[in-house]
Amino acid sequence: MKTLKIFLLLTAIFICPNFALAKNADELFNELRQKILQVKDYVAEVNLKIDVAYMKVPLLKGKLYFKAPDLMKLERNGGISILPKKNINLTLSNLIPTGKVTVIDMGTTLYKAKSLRLIKVVPDDEKSSIVLTKIWIDEQNLLVIHAETTTYEEGSLIMDLEYNHFVNYSLPDKVKIFMDLKDYKLPQGLTMDYNDGNKKQENIKKTLKQKGTIEINYKNYVINKGISTNFFKG
Amino acid sequence: MIKPLSLELYKIFKRPRTYISFGLVTAIALVIQLAMCSGGKEFLSFGMQGITEQFAIQGNVLNGYLVAYIILQSLLIHIPLLIALVAGDSIAGEANMGTLRLVLTKPISRSRLVIIKFTASIIYSLLLIIWLAVVALFLSLFLFGKGDMINMKSDTFILLLQDDIMWRYFCAFAFASLAMTTIVSLSLLLSAFAENSIGPIMATMAIVVVLTILSNLELPLFNLIKPYLFTTHMIGWKGFFDDPVPYKAIRNSALVLSFYTLGLLLMTIIYFNKKDIKS
């Protein structure tokens, strides 16, 4: 009898807290959204690496300014900045649908050898550009580790996120974005290209690779200090 | 060698027509710069439509480097024609005026005379390229400022950082000078054939225009002959604005142009040595 009591006590200690911590999908999503939305604006030093078949862009270093919900500007000390022009841009706050949503619990799953909670989020608003977002969540730290978003008009967008210094704000140190891209072509009679003999090879590369990858490394975040909306104009 | 060369240069720079080229280069550069000042953003947004649909591009895109590139793209087709004005006139012009026989009475070989005229025409074309650099590049930088440069090829969008551009321009101008040397030798050969300067100038223009069209037409028939046309390689300067720079292709183009230059010069010397000069 004593043994049974000890067994029940141990069960209560080790199992019950897990039940208590396991939130339902709606709660989890709402908590996650609240955590992400606490960042109203930020400035961070970034290294931006663009890997798109038809673009040859060197590593861009600069300051990335963000203001919720969707204002973003990369400033490069007088240089040209390039950012993807998607309705869903490079931030999580844009990736996670706002307003009323339906959250579907997909249970726990292994992602990169890590046990994560997978939820599917479908916006109830028919006007939303997002069809569906699948989010892989580190439940313990309340962080999005991986997200896949399908849109009506702009294909799909996949994000891989790595955190280190700003876990409390859900701000990543490194983001890798995989996105669908349209083709780019200008008439050769207009550009009068110099043929360097690599045309055939490039065309093969292009047909094989229709997705683009953008990698951003963030450091030195300055969070919620206030940025004027006018700053993002022009 | 120095004295006859300076005499030849004196002849070139004494003629008012020589300065037409410098005036024309300045005028075209200024017109393009003015057009870019007033409607450059619309022009760029049309060209960059394919990119701006998917990417937001911010910053001083319309800067001096890009404007200079647009000027070079428009002008380096016309510069050969301006060079033909002088090189095409160098032998035929003297034949027309009746001074060629007089020149040849001096103790100077015909081969040497051709080389002197060739060198003088090259000096003229170099000065024209330097002037082009001044009005196209430095004036554009003064008017539009510095910045990263975008280069839009038919299937590639290239971004060059501002610290990585100036050397490309110097190399591009050096390559353009080599390309113009080919035009000088072509013009000189045609000039040796003719008795008046209009013929070689017009013939050089016709050859350059026709071959440029052939070089840019995307038809399988022309693709076979394109690698052998000097006009295909004349735009090798553009290779310096690629990333990475296709050094192998540029070296190949430089070799083809050098081969043409030496071949045409040799033909001129051979023909001129056998020519029966009647005036």
Task: Write the pLDDT tens digit of every residue in B160-183.
Answer: 999 999 999 999 999 999 999 999
Question: Do the chains contact at B153 and A186, CB–CB below 8 Å?
Answer: yes
One-letter amino acid at B117 equals K
Q: Exposed, middle or buried: residue A49 (CB in 10 Å: 0-12, 13-18, 19+)? A: middle
Tell me the β-bridge partners of A114: A111
Confidence of residue A14 (pLDDT cuts 50, 70, 90): very low
Spell out the residues 6+ positions from residue B107 whose beta carbon is closer than 8 angstroms to its own: none
pLDDT mean across residues, chain A: 79
Spell out the residues 6+ positions from residue A54 whose beta carbon is closer than 8 angstroms to its own: A183, A184, A206, B155, B156, B157
DSSP, residue by residue, chain B: -HHHHHHHHHHHHHSHHHHHHHHHHHHHHHHHHHHHHHHHHHHHHHHTHHHHTTEEEES--S-HHHHHHHHHHHHTTTHHHHHHHHHTTTTHHHHHHT-HHHHHTSS--HHHHHHHHHHHHHHHHHHHHHHHIIIIIIHHHHHH----EEEE-SS-EEEE-GGGTHHHHHHHHHHHHHHHHHHHHHHHHHHHH-SSSHHHHHHHHHHHHHHHHHHH---HHHHHHGGG-HHHHHGGGGGGGSSS--HHHHHHHHHHHHHHHHHHHHHHHHHHHH-----
pLDDT score recorded for residue A94:
64
Question: Do the chains contact at A80 and B51, CB–CB below 8 Å?
Answer: no
Question: Do the chains contact at B239 and A196, CB–CB below 8 Å?
Answer: yes
Distance from CA of A131 to the nearest CA of B (A): 19
Question: Do the chains contact at A196 and B246, CB–CB below 8 Å?
Answer: yes
Spell out the residues 6+ positions from residue A67 whose beta carbon is closer than 8 angstroms to its own: A40, A41, A227, A229, A232
Question: Do the chains contact at B162 and A203, CB–CB below 8 Å?
Answer: no
The answer to whether the Cα torsion of B128, B134, B139, B145 is positive or negative is: positive
Distance from CA of B58 to the nearest CA of A (A): 5
pLDDT score recorded for residue A87:
43
Each of the 279 residues of chain B gets a pLDDT tens digit; together they read: 788 889 889 988 988 888 989 999 999 999 999 999 998 888 888 878 878 888 888 888 899 999 999 999 887 678 898 999 999 988 998 888 888 888 888 888 999 999 999 999 999 999 999 999 999 999 999 999 999 999 988 888 999 999 999 999 999 999 999 999 999 999 999 999 988 889 999 999 999 999 988 888 878 888 888 899 999 999 999 999 998 999 999 999 999 999 999 999 999 999 999 888 775
Going from N- to C-terminal start, the domains of chain B cover 2-274
Provide the CATH number for the domain formed by A23-185+211-228 in this structure: 2.50.20.10
B78: tokens are: 């016309």
At B231, phi and psi to the nearest 5?
-65, -30
Distance from CA of A194 to the nearest CA of B (A): 6
HEC sequence for A72-106: EEEEECCECEEEECCCCCCCHHHHCCCCCEEEEEE
A vs B, Cβ pairs < 8 A, gives 125
pLDDT score recorded for residue B115:
94
Q: How far apart are CA A136 and CA B68, in angstroms?
A: 50
Going from N- to C-terminal start, the domains of chain A cover 23-185+211-228
- Of B55, B154, B242, nearest to A85 by CB-CB distance is B55
Contact criterion met (CB below 8 Å) for A23 and A79: no
Question: Do the chains contact at A80 and B73, CB–CB below 8 Å?
Answer: no
A165: tokens are: 């210094």
Q: How far apart are CA B239 and CA B279, in angstroms?
A: 46
Q: For A40-94, what is each residue's pLDDT tens digit?
A: 889 999 999 999 888 899 999 999 888 887 788 888 877 888 888 764 445 666 6
A172: tokens are: 């990543």
Q: How far apart are CA B224 and CA B241, in angstroms?
A: 26
Angle at CA of residue A146, ends A141 and A150, nearest 5°: 135
Q: Which of B126, B115, B125 is nearest to B91 (CA)?
A: B115
**B interface with A, Cβ–Cβ below 8 Å:** 47, 50-61, 73, 146-148, 150, 152-162, 164, 216, 218, 226, 232, 235-239, 242-243, 246, 248-250
- Of B50, B54, B160, nearest to A84 by CB-CB distance is B54
B52: tokens are: 């701006």
Q: How far apart are CA B276 and CA B279, in angstroms?
A: 9
Taking contacts as CB-CB distances below 8 angstroms, the residues of chain A near B53 are: 85, 182
- Considering only alpha carbons, which residue of chain B is nearest residue A56? B158
Taking contacts as CB-CB distances below 8 angstroms, the residues of chain B near A192 are: 73, 216, 235, 238
Q: How far apart are CA A160 and CA B9, in angstroms?
A: 67
- Residue listed under structure tokens 């895109």: B61
- Of A182, A184, A196, nearest to B155 by CB-CB distance is A184
A123: tokens are: 């916006």
Question: Do the chains contact at A184 and B246, CB–CB below 8 Å?
Answer: no
Q: Which of B194, B3, B165 is nearest to B93 (CA)?
A: B194
- Mean pLDDT value across residues A183-191: 77
Q: For A89-124, what is each residue's pLDDT tens digit?
A: 456 666 666 678 888 989 888 888 888 999 998 888
